[in-house]
């Protein structure tokens, strides 16, 4: 006991040690502040803070995801916009923007958006992530710049880059696939961007009157295309498909485009080639098209310039050209590799006519069917002309008599 008491430092010894230590620290601080230049002071302080914090707290890494990337819409930003509103329970503010622009269909699901500066937490394979949408004013159109901050622990950022962003893209893609309203984009030259509206064309392969073998072959081709990701990769080709729709006016080329878009659930990018200045601009426009879309060039015989290269990169894209005059097309455009499938949209056949009558008048047979079918084989009547007659009245007798009269005028 006595020896223990002997070994313990006395209070006055501790006090004098503390006083000496404080004096040394003060001296050190004075030397540090007076002699060491401010920049070096900041550097040393930063290093010390980094060391202390990295030892006890995980350091944070922030990904900056801007709305535009190299002047084009950033697909990662777009994917986050689609995906994050689904994480309802993880919104820090408990607020969500809800908006609907589809006035024609009040039952359509409204679009959801994330309020600015709201934190959204996500969890990926046990990793905690935090998203925040920011917006700053800019001088140029569209007068604001939006960007996401995505933060995670620094040592996990590699996993986020390699796995989470792929997961984000796939999930957003699936959400979009289930989304009902498609969009049609037209290119606005003044602002150098695509402007979209809701695509309201309700034509489907059930309401499009075409020969059944043609319908089967197109649907088979579209199915094979949408499931063809690995195939296209394995043969080293871009995952795209080119269709040429040709035939007289009113035979359903535009209707076919709508049926394809509705079947595939692809947005349409409709471009007027005449308004594109040069190849550079065309290439920029093409690169700004989203995946899973239709790039439409109508009346290609009027607008095609053989020297112009229309090459679509990206994934899962269909390019559709339409023309009323296939014979006028530049042979360069018809070369294999440019358009994979040529679809002839023709005048009414008896089969197509019967289908249109069934659709419009809800009947499968009628006494006038015989003479009408005979005439249809002789004359050139477009489905547009036929449907114009059939839509006038629901009375089958009157409608078919008028149709017969129309066909007789064509003999
Ligand atoms: N095959 C068809 N099946 C059902 N309806 C059709 C068909 N073809 C045309 N129609 C009807 O005719 C209208 C006009 O057809 P559409 O605009 O698709 O023809 P088009 O070949 O694109 O004509 P254009 O070359 O003048 O643009 C359609 O809105 C549709 O109601």
Q: Determine how many CB atoms are found less than 10 A away from the CB of residue 320.
A: 25
Q: Which atom belonging to ligand 1 lies closest to the Cα atom of 387?
A: 11
Q: Which atom belonging to ligand 1 lies closest to the Cα atom of 356?
A: 4
Q: Is the pLDDT of residue 339 over 90?
A: no
Angle at 387 between CA 405 and CA 298, to 5 degrees: 125
Token pair of 142 as six digits = 């569209």
Token pair of 197 as six digits = 């509206």
* Spacing, Cα 92 to ligand 1 middle (Å): 50
- How far from chain centre, in Å, is Cα 284? 16
Ligand 1: which residue has its CA nearest to atom 5? 208
Cβ(139)–Cβ(132) under 8 Å? no
Q: Which atom belonging to ligand 1 lies closest to the Cα atom of 359?
A: 4
* Spacing, Cα 276 to ligand 1 middle (Å): 27
* Ligand 1 pocket: which of 202, 247, 251, 262 to mutate (most atoms within 8 A of CB): 251
Ligand 1: which residue has its CA nearest to atom 26? 249
Helices assigned H by DSSP within 179-299: 212-226, 229-234, 253-264, 279-287
Q: Is the pLDDT of residue 3 over 50?
A: no
Ligand 1: which residue has its CA nearest to atom 16? 252
* Spacing, Cα 345 to ligand 1 middle (Å): 9
Q: How far apart are the first and last CA of the chain?
A: 130
Q: Is the dihedral of CA 75, 80, 82, 83 positive or negative?
A: positive
* Spacing, Cα 320 to ligand 1 middle (Å): 16
Q: Determine how many CB atoms are found less than 10 A away from the CB of residue 106.
A: 7
Ligand 1: which residue has its CA nearest to atom 8? 252
Ligand 1: which residue has its CA nearest to atom 30? 384
Q: Which atom belonging to ligand 1 lies closest to the Cα atom of 245?
A: 21
* Spacing, Cα 254 to ligand 1 middle (Å): 6
Whole-number Å distance between alpha carbons of 181 and 105 = 10
* Residue whose structure tokens are 């995505």: 150
Strand-pair partners of 293: 267, 317
| 26 band by pLDDT with thresholds 50, 70 and 90 | confident
* 3-class state of residue 353 by DSSP: helix
Higher pLDDT: 11 or 299? It is 299
Angle at 312 between CA 307 and CA 316, to 5 degrees: 155
Whole-number Å distance between alpha carbons of 181 and 198 = 6
Q: Is the pLDDT of residue 307 over 60?
A: no
Higher pLDDT: 307 or 296? It is 296
Q: Which atom belonging to ligand 1 lies closest to the Cα atom of 352?
A: 1
Contacts of 105 (CB under 8 A, 6+ apart): 181
Token pair of 201 as six digits = 């064309």
Average pLDDT over all residues of the chain: 84
Ligand 1: which residue has its CA nearest to atom 12? 384
| Stretch among 167-171, 196-200, 250-254, 317-321 having the lowest mean pLDDT | 196-200
Q: Are strands 144-153 and 60-66 parallel, antiparallel or unpaired?
A: antiparallel
Q: What is the dihedral of CA 382, 385, 391, 397, to 10 degrees?
A: -90
Count of residues in the chain = 411
* Ligand 1 pocket: which of 201, 243, 250 to mutate (most atoms within 8 A of CB): 250
* Ligand 1 pocket: which of 254, 346, 353 to mutate (most atoms within 8 A of CB): 254
The one-character DSSP state at 109 is P
Q: Is the pLDDT of residue 32 over 80?
A: no
* Spacing, Cα 323 to ligand 1 middle (Å): 13
| Stretch among 129-143, 224-238, 242-256, 368-382 having the lowest mean pLDDT | 129-143
Ligand 1: which residue has its CA nearest to atom 11? 384
* Ligand 1 pocket: which of 251, 255, 268, 358 to mutate (most atoms within 8 A of CB): 255
197-344: CATH topology is Rossmann fold (3.40.50)
> Rounded to two decimals, what is the model's pTM?
0.67
* Spacing, Cα 311 to ligand 1 middle (Å): 28
pLDDT tens column, 65-116? 998 776 667 889 989 988 988 886 666 666 666 665 555 555 556 566 778 8
Taking CB atoms and a 6 Å cutoff, what residues make up the pocket around ligand 1? 208-210, 249-255, 324, 345, 383-384, 387
pLDDT tens column, 217-272? 999 999 999 998 889 889 888 889 999 999 999 999 999 999 999 999 899 999 88
Q: Domain spans of the chain? A: 13-56, 60-181, 197-344, 350-409
């Amino acid at each position: 006991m006595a020896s223990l008491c002997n070994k313990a430092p006395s209070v006055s010894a501790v006090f004098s040690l503390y006083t000496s230590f404080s004096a040394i620290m003060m001296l050190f601080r004075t030397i540090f502040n007076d002699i060491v230049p401010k920049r070096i002071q900041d550097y040393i302080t930063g290093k010390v803070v980094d060391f202390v914090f990295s030892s006890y707290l995980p350091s944070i890494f922030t990904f900056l995801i801007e709305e535009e990337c190299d002047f084009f819409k950033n697909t990662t930003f777009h994917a986050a916009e689609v995906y994050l509103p689904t994480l309802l329970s993880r919104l820090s503010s408990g607020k969500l923007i809800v908006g609907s622009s589809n006035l024609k269909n009040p039952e359509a699901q409204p679009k959801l958006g994330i309020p600015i500066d709201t934190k959204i937490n996500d969890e990926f394979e046990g990793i905690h992530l935090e998203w925040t949408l920011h917006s700053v004013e800019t001088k140029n159109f569209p007068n604001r710049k939006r960007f996401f901050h995505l933060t995670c622990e620094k040592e996990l950022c590699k996993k986020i880059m390699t796995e989470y962003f792929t997961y984000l893209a796939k999930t957003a893609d699936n959400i979009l696939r289930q989304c009902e309203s498609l969009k049609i984009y037209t290119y606005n030259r003044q602002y150098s961007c695509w402007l979209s509206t809701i695509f309201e064309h309700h034509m489907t392969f059930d309401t499009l009157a075409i020969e059944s073998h043609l319908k089967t072959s197109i649907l088979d081709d579209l199915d094979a295309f949408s499931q063809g990701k690995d195939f296209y990769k394995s043969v080293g080709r871009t995952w795209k498909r080119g269709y040429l729709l040709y035939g007289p006016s009113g035979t359903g080329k535009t209707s076919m485009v709508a049926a394809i878009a509705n079947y595939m659930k692809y947005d349409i990018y409709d471009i007027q080639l005449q308004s594109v200045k040069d190849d550079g601009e065309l290439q920029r426009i093409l690169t700004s098209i989203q995946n899973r879309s239709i790039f439409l060039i109508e009346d290609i015989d009027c607008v095609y310039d053989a020297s112009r290269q229309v090459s679509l990169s990206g994934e899962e894209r269909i390019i559709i050209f339409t023309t009323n005059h296939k014979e006028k097309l530049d042979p360069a455009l018809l070369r294999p590799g440019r358009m994979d499938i040529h679809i002839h949209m023709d005048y009414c056949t008896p089969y197509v006519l019967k289908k249109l009558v069934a659709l419009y008048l809800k009947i499968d047979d009628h006494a006038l069917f015989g003479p009408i079918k005979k005439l249809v084989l002789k004359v050139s009547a477009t489905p547009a002309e036929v449907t114009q007659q059939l839509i006038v009245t629901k009375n089958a007798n009157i409608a078919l008599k008028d149709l017969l009269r129309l066909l007789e005028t064509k003999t």
